[in-house]
Chains A and B, each alone.
Chain A
Amino acid sequence: MALQTLNFEFQAETPETMTKEWSHLGVTGSGDLEVLMEKKNLGGKVQAKVVTPVKGFDEVWRRMLGKFVNDCQVGDVSIEINDDNATPIVVYMRLRQAWAEASEKEAE
């Protein structure tokens, strides 16, 4: 019944960190999620914390987040996710969008 909290750690081969100090994207709507990314000195690693009402998908989360970290070579970033039943492909898409915003060069 209660919400689940999952914690993960990843290490990419040639990681690069984000340009902004922090970045936020998305809304915890039904079938959707929000992502908060923060630059953090983790020795090149990525920490991820997922809060979700869904049980039994820990391995899917690990794979999806791992794929994102490897595809984008992310490092020294803390990721926090509030999820409300998003499908894996939505999770991946939101992570890529959040990363694009977090690595935007030009600050407004």
Chain B
Amino acid sequence: MQKWDELEKSSFLDANARQRAIGMTDKGSFTELLGPRDRFTSPHLPVLGTAVEFDDGMVTGVGRIGKHPVFVISMEGKFIGGAIGEVNGGKMVGTIRLAEKAAARIKKEHPDEYAARRPLVVISFETGGVRLHEANAGLLAHAEVMDAFQDCRHKLPIVCVVGSKVGCFGGMGFVAAATDVIIMNEQGRIGLTGPEVIEQEMGKEEFDASNKALVYRTTGAKQKYIMGDCNYLVEDTIGSFYQAIVDVADKPMAEIEKMRRIGSVKLAEEQMGLVKLVGDMQPKDAMDLWKYYGNEKPEELPELSTAEFLKVVKCRVRN
């Protein structure tokens, strides 16, 4: 394993789940829970003749950022596309519940210092959603994660990180939308139905999954940033993600609540407003919306580096 300082400079996209988990917390602070040596493999995969992994494709553990305990969930896309089954789903739920318990304990033991010691949950999504080999358990895990999010609401932030090759799709696309804060690099993608599946079901005329430029400007981080679905757009280094998480760790809960996309009547109305807008204007491409929000030359935006993009981009203004 590389040293922490090297990890911070290296690409988030190219890193594995464990490197990301270590690099998103303070140097030397990460402790893995249910790691490979515990051999918590899926009980369903062997009978189907599918290879197993000792950590079931998910790194979970706890680290620190300053005085804040950071509960990390990091998915590994190379193992069955990061899909969620019984064991890794259970690890995910368990980690969030642990953070919730830690928050209650810190509030009790350090009532005056809660803001400075408030825990946070950081989830690096790299998944296509439910693992079809164990789909019922996988779906149940999705529901339990959403429940756990709801119980953490207003108490501690749930941070979603997307910067991997697989992106975040399927049921986990819903889960990502239900978090408080979303951090992405330019290569990150979030969606519900994956591009290939749309093409398969609706035809190439509807969505050409082999057109990478189209895929990225529809599901990619720049589109999400313009629409307000992504709160932080960062460079592709583990250190950049770490810095964004440091920023979130110290923010008041009221401010974090403002970054949410769903979860209140007002936010639901805001989303319905977007649905109406799209219905009225009938955009043919994400670029039509970029233009609507004041970007005079939307076709130039995909070509810009992250830093240049952030300087010139005009985003949807949220009220």
Minimum distance in angstroms from A107 CB to a CB of chain B: 11
Q: Which of B1, B52, B76 contacts A82 (CB 8 A)?
A: B52
Decide: A27 and B54 in contact? CB cutoff 8 A.
no
Q: B296 in the interface, Cβ–Cβ < 8 Å?
A: no
Count of chain A residues near B, Cβ 8 A: 23
In B34-80, which residues have CB < 8 Å from any A CB?
35-37, 41, 45-54, 76, 78-79
Decide: B46 and A27 in contact? CB cutoff 8 A.
no
Binding-face segment, A11-19, A28-36, A57-65, A67-75: A28-36
The secondary structure that dominates the B interface is loop
Q: Which of A3, A36, A108 contacts B51 (CB 8 A)?
A: A3
Q: Which of B3, B48, B49, B51 contacts A28 (CB 8 A)?
A: B51
Q: Which of A3, A38, A80, A108 contacts B50 (CB 8 A)?
A: A3
Task: Determine the distance from Cα of A108 to Cα of B76 in the docked complex, in whole angstroms.
Answer: 24
Decide: B1 and A108 in contact? CB cutoff 8 A.
yes
Given contact pairs A22-B37, A27-B79, A108-B3, A36 touches B50 in the complex (Cβ within 8 A): no
B10-36 to A contact mask, C-beta < 8 Å, 1/0: 000000110000000000100000011
| B-side contacts of A34, CB under 8 Å | 36, 53-54
Decide: A53 and B36 in contact? CB cutoff 8 A.
no
A1-45 to B contact mask, C-beta < 8 Å, 1/0: 111000000000000000000101001111010101010000000
| B-side contacts of A82, CB under 8 Å | 41, 51-54
Task: Determine the distance from Cα of A36 to Cα of B36 in the docked complex, in whole angstroms.
Answer: 8
Task: Determine the distance from Cα of A32 to Cα of B79 in the docked complex, in whole angstroms.
Answer: 10
Kindly report which residue of chain B lies nearest to residue A30, judged by CB atoms. Answer: B78
Q: A76 in the interface, Cβ–Cβ < 8 Å?
A: no
Task: Determine the distance from Cα of A82 to Cα of B79 in the docked complex, in whole angstroms.
Answer: 11
Decide: A84 and B54 in contact? CB cutoff 8 A.
no
Minimum distance in angstroms from A106 CB to a CB of chain B: 10
Decide: A3 and B16 in contact? CB cutoff 8 A.
no
Decide: B51 and A52 in contact? CB cutoff 8 A.
yes
Decide: B53 and A36 in contact? CB cutoff 8 A.
no
Decide: A84 and B51 in contact? CB cutoff 8 A.
yes
Task: Determine the distance from Cα of A100 to Cα of B46 in the docked complex, in whole angstroms.
Answer: 30
Minimum distance in angstroms from A37 CB to a CB of chain B: 10
Task: Determine the distance from Cα of A4 to Cα of B37 in the docked complex, in whole angstroms.
Answer: 20
Task: Determine the distance from Cα of A83 to Cα of B48 in the docked complex, in whole angstroms.
Answer: 15
Decide: B37 and A28 in contact? CB cutoff 8 A.
no
In B241-267, which residues have CB < 8 Å from any A CB?
none
| B-side contacts of A52, CB under 8 Å | 51
Decide: A53 and B54 in contact? CB cutoff 8 A.
no
Task: Determine the distance from Cα of A22 to Cα of B39 in the docked complex, in whole angstroms.
Answer: 13
Decide: B37 and A36 in contact? CB cutoff 8 A.
yes
Decide: B36 and A24 in contact? CB cutoff 8 A.
yes
Task: Determine the distance from Cα of A30 to Cα of B3 in the docked complex, in whole angstroms.
Answer: 27
Task: Determine the distance from Cα of A3 to Cα of B28 in the docked complex, in whole angstroms.
Answer: 37
- 30 residue pairs of the A-B complex, CB under 8 angstroms, read A1-B48, A2-B47, A2-B49, A3-B45, A3-B46, A3-B49, A3-B52, A22-B37, A24-B35, A24-B37, A24-B54, A27-B17, A27-B76, A27-B78, A28-B51, A28-B78, A32-B78, A34-B36, A34-B54, A36-B36, A36-B54, A51-B52, A52-B51, A53-B50, A82-B41, A82-B51, A82-B52, A82-B54, A83-B51, A108-B3
| The 8 A-B residue pairs with the shortest CB-CB distance in the complex, in nearest-first order | A29-B78, A84-B51, A28-B53, A3-B46, A24-B36, A27-B78, A1-B49, A28-B51
